[in-house]
Structure 1
Amino acid sequence: MSIKTTVKVAMALGGAFLVAACDDTNLPGFMKNANSGEKSVQTAARQGKVIERDVEAPEVFQVTEKGLWDGRPSLGGVWVAHPNATDPERVIIRNPANGKTAVAALFRREREIPGPRLQVSSEAAAELGLLAGAPAELTVTALRKEKVPVAPPPEAEPVLEDPEEISQSTLDDPIAAAEAALDRTEKTTRRIGTRPAPKPAAKPEAGAKPAAAAKPAADAKPAAPAPASKLSKPFIQIGIFSVEQNAKNTAESLRGVGIIPTIKPGDSNGKKFWRVVAGPATNKAELATLLKKIEGLGFVDAYAVSN
């Protein structure tokens, strides 16, 4: 092989590698950037997630005794009241007679009424299958949130291709292929080099005023972030509802008087519920005003919550 041929082959191979370096898709598999595309997926797979779930906290509150629905419709969604309750809590109510459960809000029963000490709302009674005026044995247990780590999925084992399915092909003459590539590169270079240069921009006529530059559109001012609240419980919970439409109806009635509510779905032990909250308030005075306005609408069991 002549020296000229050797030089041409080296130039062709060098040019081919330079072109391939500009486009990762042209490289063979073992030369591609290992970080492209797969890095974020592998990182996400290695990182475990943390989820929140409800756990029962009998040490906070738990009673098992007769409960009663007096037959009257009530506001506030699913709730239960008991004289031993101190602070409002989120609880789970069980009816052992039929196995039904309900996630509810627990309140302190302020006044003594003859009959069972546990008093349930109309919506709680519907969830638990209680009849008006018919006492039933109920168990009420406080709930708490618990963070649980989720193990990342196991890494998939590499799958080797079946050797029998690997196709074979005869390699072309590398010298002839390199010379052909060099000829194509030289033709492309000559073709690119003969392109006419772009025409310079026309000069403006004498006395003509330059066109006014387009004024940039006025930058839209970003919405001011909501002021951060320093309160540990800046929201007011209006109620917990086992029926989503009831939560929406309550939220709509609040909007009608200028209160902006938020519906927060939840799930506890397979039971779905919807909480309606308002806020956040930025200070104690604002929180007190909001609570007073909500109680004036008939939601006398509304109380402050952290979220």
Structure 2
Amino acid sequence: MDTTRKPRHAARLTVTAAVALALLAGCDENGQFALPMPNGKSVATTAGSTKSTKLVERDVEAPEVFSATDQGLWDGRPSLGGVWVAHPDVTEPERVIIRNEANGKFVIGALFRKERDLPGPKLQISSDAAAALSILAGAPAPLNVTALRREETEEAAPIDESATSPVDAPAQVSETALDPIAAAGAAIDAAAATPVAPPAPKPETPRQTSSLAKPFVQLGIFSIEGNANRVAKQMRGAGMVPVIKQSEINGKPFWRVLVGPAGSKSELNNLIKAIKAEGFSDAYAVTN
């Protein structure tokens, strides 16, 4: 006779009885399962009571940074750098939304400084901007240009209805499900039979590769993904590592091509010099 079975059987009955008592004690007079609170109170769990939020980054208009409404012109020449607009009052490059007030179309692009001695309207646009806004070469159009700023906002995370909503009762319910003692014993047996997987290794924290405030170089903003991919391919051919970042505003996507990050100021200057040598004379340093 195995003398170890009786103690083990007695221990199992003790554990299962304790689990059953805990399950029964956790039910209130309405039959709902209640969770103990630190102050001695209990709160009944109900479907949909858990709320979750997450932080998302969005581009918002910042007219206090820059805003101009004037005639815009494309001179008809093809231009590099994707979607951009130039204005004589610009002090630093900015990301902007460009609207064609004649047809309601808009596009996201970069804003640069325009030389004051150039003839024509104050706003000069690139060939990609003209195509996105349906502006013909040499035909001025009323444009509004407003700076954009990125900010973090809270957004409600989607709730998994399958995890919170009640489901229909099954057609057949086993005796084990109705008997808390049997259910607890089955859970103990399942835990003993299932091997415990080793904990997954924690992901390594990415190392800080640059101490610069603006370690990346932006080549351009594109309204067509294929154009961004072609520029990235050109940069790879020149021995640089490009990054394509997709964003969206008012339901319209756009793609930015970046190179970096640079580890030092001298490396950043050399990177900008190399990119401008590839024809992107308006490339400038950005945060990310």
What are the residue-to-residue correspondences of 1:121-132 with 2, within 5 Å? Answer: 121-132=126-137
Query: Does 2:84 align with 1:88?
Result: no
Following superposition, the deviation at residue 283 of structure 1 comes to 1.1
Match in the other structure for 2:23: 30
What secondary structure does 1:17 align onto? Answer: helix
Structure 2 counterpart of 1:97: 102
User: 1:56 maps to which residue?
Assistant: 61
**Alpha-carbon distance, 1:255 to partner:** 0.8
Partner in structure 2 of residue 296 of structure 1: 277
Runs of 4+ in structure 1 over 4 Å off: 10-13, 18-21, 152-162, 165-169
Amino acid at match of 2:233: E
The more displaced of 72-81 and 104-113 is 104-113
SS in 2 for 1:141: strand
CA 1:108–1:168 in 2, change beyond 3 Å: closer, same or farther?
Answer: closer
Q: Answer whether contact 1:227 1:282 (CA < 8 A) is retained.
A: no
1:6 corresponds to: none
Counterparts in 2 of 1:158 and 1:125: CA distance versus 1, 3 Å = closer
Structure-2 separation of matches of 1:271 and 1:75: 21
Aligned residues: 232
Identity %: 53
Q: Distance in 2 between matches of 1:77 and 1:158?
A: 48
1:17 is aligned to: 13
**Contact in 2 for aligned 1:54/1:269 (Cα 8 Å):** no
| Alignment check: 8 A CA contact 1:90 1:105 kept | yes
Tell me the distance in 2 between the aligned counterparts of 1:254 and 1:265.
18
The 1:30–1:265 alpha-carbon spacing in structure 2 relative to 1, beyond 3 Å, is same
Q: 1:257 Cα deviation (Å)?
A: 1.1
Give 1:292's aligned amino acid.
Answer: K
Contact 1:91 1:106 survives alignment (8 Å) = yes
Query: How far did 1:69 drift?
Result: 0.5
Q: What is the Cα deviation at residue 54 of structure 1?
A: 1.4
CA drift of 1:161 comes to 7.9
Tell me if 1:254 matches 2:235: yes
Secondary structure in 2 matching 1:240: strand
**Bigger strand fraction:** 2
TM alignment of 1:217-256, pairs within 5 A: 228-256=209-237
Normalising to structure 2: TM-score of the pair? 0.70
Equivalent of 2:76 in 62, 71, 77: 71
- Supply the AA of the counterpart residue of 2:236: R
Paired residue type of 1:17: L
Alpha-carbon distance, 1:268 to partner: 1.3
Contact 1:239 1:275 (8 Å CA) reproduced: yes
What pairs with 1:138-149 in structure 2 (closer than 5 Å)? 138-149=143-154
1:30 CA displacement: 3.1
Indicate the SS of the match to 1:58: coil
Instruction: Compare CA radii of gyration and give the structure with the larger one.
Output: 1
| 1:245 partner SS | helix
